[in-house]
A and B are shown apart, each in its own frame.
Chain A
Amino acid sequence: MNAAQSWIVVADDAAATGLVEVARTLGTEVVAVVAGRRAVAEAVAGVVDRVLWLGEPGTAPVEAFAPDVARLVAEAAPRAVVGATTPGGRALLGAVGAALRSPVLAGVERVELAGDDVVVTRSVLGGISQHRTAVAGGPAVLAVDAGAAVAVSDTAAAVEEVAATPLPAQVVEVRPTTVAGVDLGAARVVVGVGRGLKAREDVALISGLAGALGGEVACSRPLAEGVDWLPKDRYIGISGQRVSPELYVAVGISGQLQHMVGVREAKVIVAVNSDKAAPVFAQCDYGIVGDLYQVVPALTAALGGTA
């Protein structure tokens, strides 16, 4: 094992600060293997020591390069391999984990070194418990939040092109999303709405409250995947965004752990729910038991907004 090195595997996405940060903690030399466009490889080259680039992908999806990525990583046998929790990142990590026969650890909160072993603090079972786990005998393979785009740097490592044989698959069409992205992480106040909402038009009610609080609108997963009333980057939880605002208001959300793990770091949590037995009331600081269709307009009014 090459204990001085840690590797990041990049799936055509310059949002990799999270990967680099973890990799720097675990190795003195950080090597990136980039599947995707040259521009991504060049961006990443500004923040790592060495870049192996698999060539222009053309119409191949990034996942087609997973075997090449795995082969390069396995040959180098670094101490740690870090990738993103995105669909493409997980595909690369899956191939790496398979090649190294090493578990891919998710829910990573902190990493450290204990001698040559990587020690990972991670949340397990949907976030109900936290484990400190030592990885010994082989590389640690870690799936982490990708983080922001890497900063532009004037001193960049050279991009070394490596021959690749991607699996045959072709992206034949891309229909870009039309909705603007939102950075919930920056919001001081977040108002999340769930299946307690009866109709798409009623999202306006929630926007009104968020406006009066100077916050952003978010939601539970079923509202973004299922009914599609809100964009996917606005749902909170283990498979969505994790936020730590000063104030989180959960409206018509039952409080299932997969949602609540995403707001655990919120300073104050308020819940509005018509069911007094809803689990959310055991996980909040303030609660109103009542019909959101009455409570939300009243709250907006009490805050001096227009309901």
Chain B
Amino acid sequence: MKIVVAYKWAPNPQDADVAADGSVDLGRAKWAVSEYDPVALELARQLADATGGEVIGLTVGAAGIDTPLARKAALSRGLDRLVLVADDALDGADGTRVAAVLAAAVRGIGDVDVVLAGDSSVDVAAGQVALTLAGTLGWLGLAAVSAVRVADAGTAGLVVERELPAGTAVVSVPTPVVLAATADAVVPRVAGMKDILAAAKKPVEVLSLAELSVAEPGAVLTTLATAKPGGAERTARIFDGSDAAAAATELVGALRQSGAL
């Protein structure tokens, strides 16, 4: 089985500086494999080990996503090899464009059975790219996948479990398919020294954006204005809780006085 994990090398917006006009400076933000993507990498590894398959990491973005650190961070998490598209033309690309580039790369890799992705990215957090990728490829795309296994002997495809608002659904799916994992589908491995050393020897293929056939966008976005969201600014009155009873009395008094209670 050939499994691709579409993951993101992303900045954590927790460390961003947001100016009064809403403009965002990500200069201090820490870049990493996006928070939930290791779950997808682990699911892929487990599925591949159960089927004797191969796991290929795939990520696209601006030129800056291709660094030795970024390569190692992904390759040390159970990948067999890595495919990258790193081009500044993709800086700030919207999800549909990212999905189109991922789709072109998946087609280029060829004979892919499963694409796995994380729940949502740490920066955009919309949980949309994997499903748009499925749409681009014309494949079935399922989010909220909490478990994946190969179907019983005699049946083709995979059996996946999904955590949906109404309950747990078990779905029998043919391949090829795109699956986005829940945040807690599996506990990802922690890369050890051995994994990190092995990562340095694994093959990496860099695809050029120009060589991939990616359709031009059908709609154009223009940012008219940015703003800092309201309600974000609060000044705290802090009570020392080392004497819990006294702090509790003071807080309850303050809440009553302000009308919150």
Contact = CB atoms under 8 A, between A and B. Distances in A.
B232 interface: yes
Nearest to B93: A103
Contacts of B260: 246-247, 267-268
Interface in B79-135: 94-97, 99-100, 103, 119-120, 122-128, 130-135
Interface of A: prevailing SS: mixed
A94 B219 contact: no
A134 B232 CA distance: 25
A64 B219 contact: no
Contacts, number: 302
Contacts of A264: 229-232
Given A61-B142, A171-B171, A98 B224 contact: no
Contacts of B97: 103
A91 B245 contact: no
A306 interface: no
Interface in B220-261: 220-232, 234-242, 244-245, 247-249, 251-252, 254-255, 258, 260-261
Contact of B100 (A61, A98, A247): A98
A103 B124 CA distance: 13
Interface of B: prevailing SS: mixed
A140 B251 CA distance: 47
Given A90-B127, A172-B171, A286-B255, 8 more contacts: A67-B135, A87-B142, A124-B124, A130-B226, A134-B222, A173-B170, A238-B125, A298-B248
Interface of A: 61, 63-64, 66-67, 70, 85-87, 90-91, 93-104, 106-107, 119, 123-141, 143, 167-177, 213, 221, 225-226, 232-233, 238-239, 246-247, 256-258, 264-265, 267-272, 276, 279, 281-291, 294-295, 297-299, 301-303
7 contacts: A87-B144, A90-B131, A98-B100, A101-B216, A102-B217, A103-B94, A264-B230
